[in-house]
Amino acid sequence: MGVNPLLPDAPQAESGTWTHADRRWMQEALRHARHAGAHLHEVPVGAVLVLGDRLLGAGCNQSIQRHDPTAHAEVMALREAGIAIGNYRFPDSTLYVTLEPCAMCAMALVHARVGRVVYAAPDPKTGAAGSVFDTLISPRHNHRINVDSGLYAGLSAHLLRDFFKDRR
């Protein structure tokens, strides 16, 4: 593959300073995104759900493969985590995802009581973590999620652009 695009000195996001753990887990989400695009021929989005230093669940987009419009990366990670720990709620956990969650995924994260979401690239068409909708932080819900964005945004956007370019 040549040069590793996961450079440890990627630019900081406007929302804060990235920890080593943030970088590690987003790199894992990017690995799942690459798998979705290269091997499953799905839109390359990956997600991992973490509690402390423990991986609870991971997933990538699988809507086409599973004939399931809800099989987004975030939902797949939540499903795997639920099975792993025997619960549907994940307080104090962090979800790392390569693309800003859509409204469906954002509400699943709210219902799951995820504590924090870190996403790489914004989604200016359907993003529900601030780009189009503010679902994760809406005062209308009884749970709000801390949101950080921009970690490896350029790399994630590049994966998406290349995927759609190759499909045209």
Q: Is 42 annotated as catalytic?
A: no
Coil, strand or helix at 7: coil
**Sheet-wide strand order for 54-60:** 54-60, 46-51, 94-99, 116-121, 146-149
Active-site annotation holder among 14, 28, 42, 74: 74
Structure tokens given for 7: 């450079």
Distance CA(89)–CA(112), nearest Å, equals 4
Residues acting as catalytic residues: 74
